[in-house]
Chain A
Amino acid sequence: MTTTLTRPGALAASGHPLVRPQAARHLTDEQIAELGVELDAIRDDILAKRGATDAAYIRRVIKVQRGLEFAGRGALLFGRNKAAWIAGTTMLSFAKILENMEIGHNVLHGQWDWMRDPDIHSTTWEWDFVTPARSWQHTHNDLHHRWTNVVGKDRDVGYNLLRMDADQPWKPFNLGNPLYNAMLAPVFEWGIALYDLELPEYNEGLKSKADLKRDLKAVGIKAVKQFTKDYAATPAVAMLTGSGKQALYGTLVANAVRNVWAHAVIFCGHFPDGTDTFTEENVEGETRGDWYVRQMIGSANISGSKLMHLMTGNLSHQVEHHCFPDLPSNRYAEVAVRVREICLRYGLPYTTGPLPKQVASTWAKVFKLALPGKGHFRKGKPASA
């Protein structure tokens, strides 16, 4: 991957980017540096607290998830019975959501690497999602989290499919924005698998043929295994009880439920009203404080219950996740209180809202940007208590 900007081992503590984002322009270099120090202190604080209770938390979630997966798939084998089908499909849907969100996404971020447990580690984990863990780690952990919302750098802004920012030039193809998005949601995992192949990068000469071949092979093997598990092996075993067809419907529904849910949650991370996007001038010369600012004003949270946070893999704390992508997810809730207070004090936007409102907001953007022009979007408002 070619980059015009080089990064030192750690970002500079002081200084300023070529152009500071609008929402943070009222802050001086010193204030931004101070903000960086405050956020670093939050991180250090969590690192010092992190320990046996956190380890017990992730192991408990993994246990529950495997229990659900086992019971759900087991029940589907008797799917001819309606109650078994409903129970099985529900449990499997929950299992897949937990596996992808609270476990897979976060383990693959290295949030649990500190335990040094090879069974729960970013270098060994593979997930119940078509795209291979290693490919996703490259496009997500490295590219998306490094270049968060920088138009032209962070291809998560629209995933090469949708026009999701007013600064992306309009093409007639974009008229289909709502249609593509509606079609993408139920097959989201296949969309991400395709996205992680980085075909546009290959066409632009930014990705070598050898790398593409390697990724194609990996995704091919993974896709066959995933497909076989849900759509061949499980129905085949269920045929023993005459439930083959019902088991197939069950796994199809569970995968679709997971896909629609993941799609909704992930779109709420950076696309709702109030989130900012950035230019390359905003990142050139970025300091540690500016980096935090970009993560905070470029991300949006989802408010809700503890169960909601769990089922979103704590991506409902997207702001905190983007500031500290490798802190354990069970700590984001307490971090959020402090990050929000910092945004309030520094007069920075802090975007959050209930799921229906945030989902509606992302869909409004999908519709508006289908048309030429820049649309009208509410800018982020400074955080309020």
Chain B
Amino acid sequence: MIRLPRLARAASALITPLTPEDFLALFNPVFSARQLRGIVTSVVRETENSATIYFRPGSGWHAHRAGQWARIGVELDGVRHWRSYSLSAAAGQDPAITVTDAGAVSNVLVRNTRPGDVLFLAPPQGDFVLPEHPRSLLMLTAGSGITPVMSMIRTLVPRRPDADVVLVHSDRTPDVSLFREELNELADQFPNLRVTHWFTEERGRLEFTAATLDTLCPDWRSRAAYACGPEGFLDDAEVFWAAESGVPRTDPEPGRADPGSLTIERFSTSLAGGAGHDGGLVTFEASDLEVEADGETPLLDVGEDAGILMPSGCRMGICHSCLLPLRAGQVRDLRTGEVHGDPGQLIQTCVSAAAGPVNLDH
């Protein structure tokens, strides 16, 4: 039998500059030479505002480790938008993301996704993963922060009798609390999992104090702790652990998770947008340079003035030769005044100025 890659190479001679995938995509949208895609296989409603989306990824995807996340692209009015979502399925299972409706992209995912839809994907990544060696764990989660931890619990608890997991999950009410029933069932069935649901509407905010933790999990100091949740929740956890645990906070090393240490997962690394005309600190990531720019100078000039070899063309916004990927921040279109910017978006540097801090992949 002829191997597919060889057959594909031979076919390319007949269809260059297209690829065999370009033609296969006519029949099955999962094919693309440039862009990993997945087909939605089922959508399960979790709560009023959240859903789990199962998908079958095309080639180029690799199996996820419990706790990892993936970038998911969806189209809103013809424009592709990317967001990162934690995979909630156990390692070794078909991938699934659990999404809570909290913005334009997640809204479309939760409300309008149907089996057969195409999702654009980037392979799973992330260092918020289970420790390599067995040890007792304390999971602290709030809101949708349960998602990666759910993957860890599903992976670990049913398969490893020697596991020892305590989960404290904070959410507003039982109704909005993700995976509540499944967690309770798992805790009933497996003695190696203990679950505490903390509903803030009844008990108020979960404060990180020694007294609270001693009540919820008396041996917390000897456990490796994992936290995932909103910004404030994680900040509080970090401050508390730095002060109380006695284990110095070091740069995270995936899978290390010493007893007494805290591993956290943060999603929002977004830069605050400026008011439009303020300019801001421009970071050229690959060139390893930072330059303060005003709000009127095109980023192309900012880069060139800093001695960076910038791609350029017409310098008036018509030829698209100067496109660079935006990593973070917002830019202002000097022609229209529009302030815009999505991570990964290619921007025309010759007609875009910094609107607040800007991070460019160049």
Contacts and interface: CB of A to CB of B under 8 A. Distances in A.
Contacts of B35: 117-119
Interface in A230-283: 232-234, 237
Contact of B319 (A127, A146, A226, A237): A146
B336 A44 contact: yes
B319 A7 contact: no
Interface string B77-88: 111110000000
Nearest to B336: A44
A334 B17 CA distance: 32
A124 B320 contact: no
Contacts of A44: 336
Given A66-B23, A142-B313, 18 more contacts: A9-B300, A10-B316, A40-B335, A51-B77, A52-B78, A55-B75, A56-B78, A70-B23, A110-B319, A114-B78, A114-B79, A118-B34, A124-B34, A137-B319, A146-B314, A229-B14, A229-B15, A237-B14
A284 interface: no
B329 interface: no
B334 A123 contact: no
Given A115-B80, A116-B80, A110 B335 contact: no
B168 to A, nearest CB: 40
B350 to A, nearest CB: 6
Contact of B32 (A63, A119, A127, A325): A119
Interface string A25-67: 0000000000000001000100100111111100000010011
Interface string B336-357: 1000001011100011010000
A233 B23 CA distance: 17
Interface string A64-95: 00110110010000000000000000000000
Interface in B19-78: 22-23, 26, 32-35, 75, 77-78
B321 interface: yes
Interface string A122-137: 1110111000000001
Contacts of B320: 109-110, 113, 122-123, 137, 141, 326
B323 interface: yes
B278 to A, nearest CB: 17
Contact of A116 (B14, B79, B298): B79
B18 interface: yes
Contacts of B314: 7, 141-142, 145-146
B133 to A, nearest CB: 40
Given A113-B323, A119-B32, A141 B313 contact: yes
A344 B335 CA distance: 25
A228 interface: yes
A179 interface: no
Nearest to A53: B78
Interface in B281-328: 297-298, 300-301, 313-321, 323
B275 interface: no
Size bracket, chain B contacts: 35 or more
B243 interface: no
B247 interface: no
A99 to B, nearest CB: 9
B334 A9 contact: yes
A127 B15 CA distance: 11
A225 interface: yes
A73 B23 CA distance: 13
A228 B335 CA distance: 45
Contact of B78 (A55, A110, A229, A325): A55
A60 to B, nearest CB: 12
A230 to B, nearest CB: 9
A225 B335 CA distance: 41
Interface in A186-204: none
B16 A9 contact: no
A206 interface: no
A138 B315 contact: no
Contacts of B297: 9
Contacts of B321: 137-138, 141-142
A141 B319 contact: yes
* A-B pairs with lowest CB-CB distance, top 5: A55-B78, A110-B320, A9-B298, A141-B319, A126-B17
Contacts of A127: 17
B14 A234 contact: yes
Contacts of A51: 77-79
A10 to B, nearest CB: 5
A200 to B, nearest CB: 20
A11 interface: yes
B8 interface: no
Contacts of A121: 346
Interface centre among B17, B23, B75, B301 (most CB of A within 10 A): B17
Contact of B317 (A10, A113, A123, A126): A10
A52 B351 contact: no
B242 interface: no
B323 A115 contact: no
B272 interface: no
Contacts of B335: 10, 40
Contacts of B17: 126-128, 222, 225
Interface centre among B18, B80, B298, B344 (most CB of A within 10 A): B18
Given A63-B26, A66-B18, A123-B346, A326 B318 contact: yes
A291 B78 CA distance: 30
Contacts of A233: 13-14
Interface in A154-183: none
